[in-house]
């Protein structure tokens, strides 16, 4: 499909591949199920490739992909809610169990409690705060990269990260994990 009014022809598949890792982090931050996150990321890729109104400059691609991802996440939440309602009305919800690793009991308990506390702390944060913290600390992104990909200023990123760290610290302090 030729781009409208542009002289450049971009390979959207490889452009999406360049942005896939940080997009997956954003999607995972907003969805609990990693399989659902992979499905939503595929929907984002399909939408990005098939949309006729694409950005005309490289610096607008990341914010454009970010907006597509947010729309697909909202759609997923809506569909999940409808599916959940249908399943609850038809039958009882299944309880799922987790397999335990073979490590020392003390280490396993400490690791499990710490992970659960941090996970619960992150879940209590606003999704935007959670995604910023995950991109910053799991992907190792700097302020400029966050600002560029999310389509906001560096000052906005600084403020949002400060607010997100304070919120997480507060949640963890309530759980006795942080001073």
Report pLDDT digits (tens) over 45-67: 888 888 878 888 888 888 989 99
Evaluate whether residue 113 is within a structural domain: no
Please report the pLDDT score of residue 6 as a whole number.
44
Among 67, 89, 111, residue at a domain's last position: 89
Cα–Cα dist 30/32, whole Å: 7
Token look-up 């992970």 returns 115
Query: For residue 1, is pLDDT > 60?
Result: no
81/129 same-domain check: no
**Are 77 and 125 within one domain?**
no
* pLDDT class of 106 with cuts at 50, 70, 90: confident
Tokens representing 124 are: 């209590």
User: What does the pLDDT look like over 108-159, one tens digit per residue?
Assistant: 777 777 777 888 888 888 888 888 998 998 888 999 999 998 899 999 999 9
Count: domains in the chain: 2
CA distance 69 to 63: 10
**Quick one: CA dihedral 126, 128, 130, 133, positive or negative?**
negative
Give me the domain span that covers residue 18: 8-89
Whole-model pTM over 0.75:
no
Distances (CA, A) of 10 to 1, 14, 38, 49, 165: 10, 9, 24, 11, 38
What whole-number distance in Å separates Cα of residue 113 and Cα of residue 119? 10
Instruction: State how far the Cα of 148 lies from the Cα of 58, in Å rounded to an integer.
Output: 11
Half-sphere exposure of 165 (CA within 13 A, CB side): 9
Mean pLDDT of 25-40: 89
Nearest to 109 by CA among 120, 100, 121, 118: 100
Would you say residue 165 has pLDDT above 80? yes
Whether the per-residue pLDDT at 163 is higher than 90: the answer is: yes
CB under 8 Å to 134, separation ≥6 — which residues? 25, 26, 28, 29, 122
108 located within any domain: no
Tokens 């006729």 found at: 52
């Amino acid at each position: 499909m030729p781009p409208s009014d542009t002289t450049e022809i971009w390979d959207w598949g490889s452009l999406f591949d360049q942005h896939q890792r940080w997009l997956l982090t954003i999607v995972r931050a907003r969805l609990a199920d990693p399989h659902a996150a992979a499905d939503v990321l595929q929907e984002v890729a399909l939408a990005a490739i098939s949309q006729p109104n694409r950005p005309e400059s490289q610096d607008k691609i990341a914010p454009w992909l970010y907006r597509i991802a947010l729309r697909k996440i909202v759609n997923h939440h809506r569909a999940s809610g409808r599916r959940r309602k249908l399943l609850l009305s038809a039958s009882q919800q299944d309880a799922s169990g987790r397999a335990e690793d073979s490590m020392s009991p003390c280490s396993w308990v400490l690791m499990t409690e710490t992970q659960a506390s941090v996970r619960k702390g992150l879940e209590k944060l606003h999704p935007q705060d959670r995604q910023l913290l995950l991109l910053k600390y799991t992907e190792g992104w700097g302020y400029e990269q966050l600002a560029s990909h999310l389509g906001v200023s560096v000052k906005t990123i600084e403020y949002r990260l400060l607010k997100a760290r304070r919120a997480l610290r507060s949640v963890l302090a309530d759980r006795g994990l942080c001073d």
